[in-house]
Structure 1
Amino acid sequence: MHFAVIARVFGILLTIFSLTLLPPIAVSMWYADQTEGAFATAFAITLVTGLLVWVPVHNARADLRTRDGFVITSLFWAVLGTFGALPFYLSAQPELSITDSIFESISGLTTTGATVITGLDDLPASILYYRQQLQWLGGIGIVVIAVAILPMLGVGGMQLYKAEAPGPVKDAKLTPRITETAKALFLIYVILTVLCIFGFWWAGMTLFDAVGHGFSTVANGGFSTHDASMGFFADNQMIMLVSIFFMIAAGTNFGLHFFAFTNRQFLSYWKDAEFKFFMLLMACFSAFVIFYLWQFHTYELEESIVHGTFQAVSVMTTAGFTSDNFSVWPTFLPFVLLLFGFAGGCAGSTAGGIKSIRVMLVVKAGLRELNRLVHPNAVVPIKLGKKLVPTKVTEAVWGFFAVFLFSFVILVVAVMATGVDFVTALTTVGSCLNNLGPALGEASSHYGDINDNAKWFLMFAMLLGRLEIFTLLVIFTPAFWRH
């Protein structure tokens, strides 16, 4: 383990992150909301800390190993969340405790969207902007962004990219060099963000709301500048349509975007097995929600189509926006919505959840086992499209499911042990582990009423989900620290 090199990278990344605290200062000065002091103090603390960590080891030179990458990725998200909490804690509004400040920061960076803040419509503009910016940074992954910069500073980034990039096959690169890969991902992300902002502005949002919701939509984060979330714009169907389109785009594998636009082969979307499965599952889910809302007379048919489609897409992509308070929807529908959040979007996207490709492989593996019961000697390979899936990938997916389920159960029990009721514990853990946001019970409106001990467990769940379980859990294994 190269601790000096790890500290050097840590110092560089923390210093870079401090620069992201400058735009909110400009917003605060533009709107004269008197919070620039809090952001300036947070900037100074973060910058000085980064430099203090970097200076003693700035001459350390060595290639990062895979284990180094896991340590940097895991710890940096936790530390970043802590320093990102400084503006919330130092600002006079919204007047948060240390626990709530860190919760809000980590929720933003992990694109979970679970909030402890109420009265968003009355908050300073700079705080509202900062929340949205946190989600935008978290969406692409601050580590992947840094991969494009670190090679110029003499630090290799392949190990960081392996630890950060989501999906069952993490070694696949879009371009031969990791720096070019990071730049390609970042460019796609920026282009989608700009188009989304313009789409919201054109559809009728103010420029401030368009920027804020553009950040969180492309990040599939779910933070909003209004307490009613997207329900604030529910009467404007064009805004809802723009939101649906970009939630789906952000929930699609960015590698697929890269190949489609680079090669001008837009039919490649429909040739991708995971994308087709993702869209089919979303279409069926949307139709079910629409039918259920209409049958139970929750809304008229047109409203059922709008709310049903929007909420189904928002949950499947783990964006977590709400068009209405779905916790009061009839019978078991709220639980079904949260259940589909476990599936999540495509691998290599900003969406959370288990990922559609894993769900698809598990379904295929389950059907194969059923077939084997009838035909014990049959050889039934698992394929994605026309490609044969290696056995080690299938085994890895089953392993992920097992660890995911085990982590979910343990965290639910832990949260309940703090005094939280079963429904709240079950839905908040599931929501945080899937980086979804909305929950039921005490957290149906916000997470502010949950006790502090439970919030720390939920923060751990957010980090687990953001780093896809193994990246974080592996550093807790004894084998990881053995030479």
Structure 2
Amino acid sequence: MNFNVRIIIHIMGLLLLCNGSFMLLATFASGIYKDGATLDIALAAIVTMLFGVMAMFYTRGHKKEVKRKEGYMVVTFGWVIMSISGMLPYLFSGAIPSVTDAFFETISGYTTTGASILNDIESLPKGILLWRSLTHWIGGMGIIVLAIAILPLLGIGGMQLFAAEAPGPGGDKLHPRITDTAKRLWFIYFGYTVVETIFLKLAGMSFFDAINHALSTLSTGGFSTKNASLAYWNDSPLIQYIIIVFMFLAGTNFVMSYFAFTGRVQRVLKDEEFKVYTTLVVVFTIIAGFIVYFQANVPISDYHPKVLGEAESAFRHALFQVIAIVTTTGFVSADFTNWTPFLTVFFFGLMFLGGSAGSTAGGIKVMRHLLIIKNGILEFKRTLHTNAIIPVRYNQKTVSEHIVYNIIAFFVLYMLLFIIGALVLGYLGLDFESAIGGAASSLGNVGPALGELNPVVNFSELPAFGKWWCGFLMLLGRLELFTVLILFVPYFWKKT
């Protein structure tokens, strides 16, 4: 093997330092609220940072070069190491005493899945709740994207890490230098989080609830501070509308936000993926809204007259759940599996859509669906004109065959893994609806599923192996399959 092991360990140390630093924020919050978990979270932070310092110190003489293979290893193992260290606050505080449950909750956080094993969230210490939300926020834009903004300070280039962390087809750069790209993305990400926190506070949330839900929204994670999730605020439509707007933004390519902020609004409006993404949200909301209004019962806000309340509430809940599932945020304003059988199947299908490429959303992504459909339509023309060269076009540019083949391979592999994932859960004893729902939700980083794993229950009743299996599916989905699966290919480990 010809890997630069020292640089891999060195970057792991850097990630642990970052993780420990975020734990200190949770320690600070715990101290302010005097929730009794301050010393436990502080100890977790110290242990995490100590291992990080040791790793960086003993590999300080490394060769400062990250090749493609090292990039894949750092991203995959980095996510695992972060999840292992990230479960220490749960274990040390006793909030989640089981290693299996603590790891599940943590990797669900970092992968922004939002599936949980906790039955009484509101009983947890405030510091633990904030740490739970921070795991979302760290994983949302990608720990590695954060790291590559820092790596040049250590004399290390980060291009290979960025390629491994964001292997999708959306490759627009904001700036020629990858580090500046990462910094701009994080600035937008941080700015949105601050603005949403302010809006939610003004709308009536406590500051603690506001910052936690902002962290979960922008990361398209879905962890809430309430057992009922966003259904807790069903009497406050304004709060739900604010979260709807920011879920939509989080599911949009962050490059589009940058273009909008720099005055290039026309480029945003002409972007094919953005137009399809917006259109699908509107169409799906209209379909779900009418069915909810005429066939299902939803909570009606006390702030509206009955007639207006019924219509507004139906379409608000429909819009909320459509965006929550499409962007894989997974917040819940109502149990959509109890609306109608059609809507249960409808929302199950949306779990495979995903947000935009370059967003914090999981799933297959709108761009991949768009290019697959375009290529499928062109196959009819190619069948009639066998000698013609008819390329796929996106935003008026020709898409290379390599990208088209990659997307088709991704789609086939994604569906194969979904089937395998469901088979394993079925073998563990889950019924059909729960097995396919759990597999789709985990692989798509959605959160709520179907059957025994529906939005008002959780994953706590899964067997231990089932939790580890779903955690593996979450990691595969978050890193878009190839980054993880390439490590299982024998050729990867051969000396080249």
Q: What residue is the counterpart of 1:196 in the other structure?
A: 196
Match of residue 50, structure 1, among 52, 59, 66:
52
User: 1:43-192 maps to which residues of 2 (within 5 A)?
Assistant: 43-93=45-95, 95-170=96-171, 172-192=172-192
CA RMSD of aligned residues (A): 1.5
CA distance in 2, matches of 1:360, 1:295: 32
Q: What residue is the counterpart of 2:274 in the other structure?
A: 275
User: 1:331-370 maps to which residues of 2 (within 5 A)?
Assistant: 331-370=341-380
The structure-2 alpha-carbon separation of the partners of 1:156 and 1:375, relative to structure 1 and needing over 3 Å to count, comes to closer
CA distance in 1, matches of 2:231, 2:384: 50
1:297 to partner: Cα distance: 3.9
* 1:154-183 CA distance string (max 9 Å, x none): 22111111111252144x432111111111
Q: What residue is the counterpart of 1:326 in the other structure?
A: 336
CA distance in 2, matches of 1:63, 1:123: 43
Q: Tell me if 1:293 matches 2:292.
A: yes
Segment drifting more, 154-163 vs 8-17: 8-17
Segment drifting more, 44-53 vs 282-291: 44-53
* 1:319-352 CA distance string (max 9 Å, x none): 1001011121211312311211211110000011
Letter aligned with residue 222 of structure 2: G
Match of residue 481, structure 2, among 440, 446, 469:
469
Contact 1:420–1:454 under 8 Å retained in 2:
no
Structure 1: runs of 5+ lacking an equivalent:
none
Segment drifting more, 201-210 vs 214-223: 201-210
Q: Tell me if 1:446 matches 2:448.
A: no
Contact 2:296–2:339 under 8 Å retained in 1:
no
Contact 1:38–1:91 under 8 Å retained in 2:
yes
Paired residues in the alignment total 480
SS at match of 1:388: strand
Q: What residue is the counterpart of 2:305 in the other structure?
A: none
CA distance in 1, matches of 2:73, 2:461: 33
Displacement over 3 Å in runs of 4+: 370-381
Q: What residue is the counterpart of 1:255 in the other structure?
A: 255
Letter aligned with residue 280 of structure 1: T
CA distance in 1, matches of 2:437, 2:57: 44
CA distance in 2, matches of 1:100, 1:205: 29
SS at match of 1:20: helix
1:32 to partner: Cα distance: 0.8
SS at match of 1:149: helix
1:379 to partner: Cα distance: 5.0
Contact 2:188–2:258 under 8 Å retained in 1:
yes
1:418 to partner: Cα distance: 2.1
User: 1:367-406 maps to which residues of 2 (within 5 A)?
Assistant: 367-373=377-383, 380-406=390-416
CA distance in 2, matches of 1:40, 1:240: 34
* 1:289-321 CA distance string (max 9 Å, x none): 111112214343222111111111111111100
Contact 1:166–1:348 under 8 Å retained in 2:
no
CA distance in 2, matches of 1:389, 1:370: 18
Q: Quote the sequence identity (%).
A: 38
Letter aligned with residue 140 of structure 1: M
CA distance in 1, matches of 2:11, 2:399: 36
SS at match of 2:423: helix
Segment drifting more, 412-421 vs 391-400: 412-421
1:372 to partner: Cα distance: 4.3
Match of residue 431, structure 2, among 412, 418, 421:
421
CA distance in 1, matches of 2:325, 2:450: 14
The structure-2 alpha-carbon separation of the partners of 1:424 and 1:297, relative to structure 1 and needing over 3 Å to count, comes to closer
CA distance in 2, matches of 1:44, 1:386: 52
Segment drifting more, 194-203 vs 429-438: 194-203
Contact 1:442–1:450 under 8 Å retained in 2:
no
SS at match of 2:112: coil
The structure-2 alpha-carbon separation of the partners of 1:306 and 1:5, relative to structure 1 and needing over 3 Å to count, comes to same
CA distance in 2, matches of 1:461, 1:280: 29
Structure 2: runs of 5+ lacking an equivalent:
299-309
* 1:340-394 CA distance string (max 9 Å, x none): 1211110000011101000001111122224445665665432213222222111
1:422 to partner: Cα distance: 2.1
CA distance in 2, matches of 1:471, 1:294: 43
SS at match of 1:448: coil
1:55 to partner: Cα distance: 2.2
Match of residue 457, structure 1, among 441, 450, 469:
469
Contact 2:170–2:358 under 8 Å retained in 1:
no
Give the TM-score taking structure 1 as reference length: 0.96
CA distance in 2, matches of 1:294, 1:373: 45
SS at match of 2:325: helix
* 1:134-158 CA distance string (max 9 Å, x none): 1111111111011111110122111
1:65 to partner: Cα distance: 0.3
CA distance in 2, matches of 1:139, 1:84: 15
CA distance in 1, matches of 2:319, 2:450: 20
Q: What residue is the counterpart of 2:233 in the other structure?
A: 233
Contact 2:173–2:181 under 8 Å retained in 1:
yes
